Amino acid sequence: MNTLLYSDADVTTPGQIIICDHRVQHLTKILKVEVNQTLRVGQLNGKLGVGKVLSIIGEEIALSVNLNQEPPTKLPLTLVLALPRPKMLRRILRTVAELGVPDIHLINSYRVDKSYWKTPALEDQTVQEYFVQGLEQARDTVLPRLHLHKRFKPFVQDQLPSLIGNRRALAAHPGDYTICPRGISGELLLAIGPEGGFIPYEVEKLREAGCDIVSLGGRILRVENAVTSLIGRLF
């Protein structure tokens, strides 16, 4: 935790908050905060600043907060991702929040197991928890937006073209395709498939919707590695 994030529910009076949940354990056991100590704080979807510990009583920590910094700029990226396995999804949600991705669209694909859509990891509260973990690591406050699309064809035909708009769009897929570019500028939409990539029908539909098909080479990466490799390469 590089930044203590808090929400409106933690605010007691203007400029003061009380923390009384799992964050207390981290603050006392890991960071070993003491009264009068200062630490970095941020309000969810708000500004960053400094908090001063006023008191530590049992499982409650009171802090005064002074917010005077804007959160870091997000990447100019819309990420379209075939829904991964639940365990991997949790790691990816943290990672994309950490990297500054503002919009994530989870989509269906032929290789996505139907059971994945029933995972508790997609519940709103759980998603926010993983996003917050990524934001705390990166010293950011603004939650990414997550969109779910359980049917591939309607999404690609009816929604993807408007999402692309005037921006550049790439679909990453293993195979003999143009190598993914580096260090691009401007707004981008990036689509990444499931383990093993999209099936040929899906690749063609993505192409018809306006995506250029690109590759990282001959190696087939795990989805979580593909996400970080592609974003790092592009930005």
* Tens-level pLDDT at each residue, the chain (235 residues): 889 999 999 999 999 999 999 899 989 998 899 999 999 999 999 999 999 999 999 899 999 999 999 999 999 999 999 999 999 999 999 999 999 999 999 999 999 999 999 999 999 999 999 999 999 999 999 999 999 999 999 999 999 999 999 999 999 998 889 999 999 989 999 999 998 889 999 999 999 999 999 998 878 889 999 999 999 999 9
Contact between 206 and 155 under an 8 Å Cβ cutoff? The reply is: no
The whole-angstrom separation of Cα 83 and Cα 112 is 6
Picking from 149, 127, 135, 150, the residue whose alpha carbon sits closest to that of residue 41 is: 135
Helix (H) or strand (E) holding 6: strand 4-6
Which residues have a Cβ under 8 Å from the Cβ of 21 and sit 6 or more positions away? none
In the chain, the domains with their CATH numbers are: 4-69 (2.40.240.20), 77-234 (3.40.1280.10)
Contact between 175 and 155 under an 8 Å Cβ cutoff? The reply is: no
Helices 86-99 and 223-234, packing angle to 10 deg: 20
Please list, residue by residue across 29-62, b when 16 or more beta carbons sit within 10 angstroms of its beta carbon and e when fewer do.
eeeebeeeeebbbbbbebebeebbbeebeeeebb
pLDDT at 221: 85
The whole-angstrom separation of Cα 63 and Cα 59 is 13
